[in-house]
Amino acid sequence: MICAGIDAGSRTIKVVLLEAESLEVLAAGAMDQGVEQEALALELLERLLKGGGIERARVRAIVATGYGRKLIRVADAMITEITCQAWGVHHRVPGAQTIIEIGGQDSKLLRLSADGSVADFAMNDRCAAGTGRFLEVLAARLGVRLARLGDMAGQSRKPAIISSMCIVFAETEIIGLLASGTLPEDIVAGVQASIATRVAAMAGRNLSSPVVFTGGVAMVPGMDAALEAALGKPVTVAPQPQLTGALGAAILAARRLKGLKTPAL
């Protein structure tokens, strides 16, 4: 029996195919988000099925998560990204106590119980200055690919101070720094530190280790180091961090299929 998890995020759609009994990942992938979310999700699902030589009829359960989960009508159930991230990360990193997830439009902090369930969480979905959107704006302003930002930050010798709390004003601040001769690599390092500082403020003082970093921004080199500096704690990047929400959704689909207890939807 095969299950699927679909994470319809704000910037990308992710799909994970899972063997229900062994929880072995059979295929996984991501594609850019768009207007027709269900059509895109089904396109990605069919692509993964075809690539793995798997017949569509073998997919017995689908769980959708993420911002666009309610638009994925093919799903058998919809579960919040908070719950799915917890299950996905706990599966990959069983000892995780804290999850920091930074996506394209929001950032989240999850505190886990010993069994991997969510004990508490906080979320920033009101300000893009603490999300991946800030890095996208920065890359566009500097005229570089997003993937290059990590290397640039690593070359910084004096990270710039980014004090604006709003991404609109922060972009204006970046323009001013460039005009004053501040090196681009110092601006990149400053923006990474600024995002990490906002997440650290959301975390507060009581933060249990191990801390696991996930979400699309976790794939940007240097962001884990910036978080470690802001939190004063080691940070582990989850394996395939962009896919942990979809993985958790697939695991919960498998549990539903086997009649096991699942969280509230």
Same domain, 104 and 154: yes
Query: 166 and 116 share a domain?
Result: yes
Q: Structural domain of residue 262, as residue ranges? A: 1-93+240-265
Q: Which residue(s) pair with 265 in the sheet?
A: none
Residues 40 and 80 occupy one common structural domain:
yes
Token look-up 């799909």 returns 15
Between the alpha carbon of residue 251 and those of residues 133, 227, 229, 248, the distances in Å are: 29, 28, 33, 5
Q: How confident is the model at residue 129, as a pLDDT?
A: 57
CA distance 75 to 195: 34
Q: Quick one: pLDDT at residue 125?
A: 59
* pLDDT string in tens for the chain (265-residue length): 899 999 998 889 999 999 999 999 999 999 988 778 899 999 999 999 999 999 999 999 999 999 889 999 999 999 999 999 999 999 999 999 999 998 877 888 999 988 888 988 988 755 655 677 888 888 888 888 887 888 898 888 999 988 766 666 777 888 899 999 999 999 999 988 988 888 888 877 778 899 999 998 898 888 999 999 999 999 999 999 999 999 999 999 999 988 887 665 4
- Residues 208, 232 share a domain: yes
Please give the tally of structural domains in the chain. Answer: 2
In sequence order, which residues have a C-beta less than 8 Å from that of residue 101 and are 6 or more positions away?
85, 107, 108, 109, 110, 213, 214, 215, 218, 244, 245
231 and 250 in one domain?
Answer: no
| In a shared domain, residues 209 and 246 | no
Let me know whether 197 and 67 are in one domain.
Answer: no
Same domain for 189 and 249, yes or no, is no
How many Cα neighbours within 13 Å face the side chain of 225?
A: 10
59 and 103 share one domain? no
Say if residue 71 is in the same domain as residue 102: no
**Which pLDDT belongs to residue 265?**
47
CA-based angle 12:4:261, to the nearest 5? 115
What's the pLDDT at 222? 87
**Torsion sign, CA atoms 69, 87, 201, 120:** positive
Pair (16, 129) in one structural domain: no
CATH of the domain at 207: 3.30.420.40
Q: What are phi and psi of 18, to 5 degrees?
A: -130, 140
* 225 shares a domain with 136: yes
pLDDT of res. 124: 76
Q: Given this model, what pLDDT does residue 242 score?
A: 94
As beta bridge partners, residue 102 has 107
The model's pLDDT over 31-43, given as tens digits with 9 standing for 90+, comes to 988 778 899 999 9
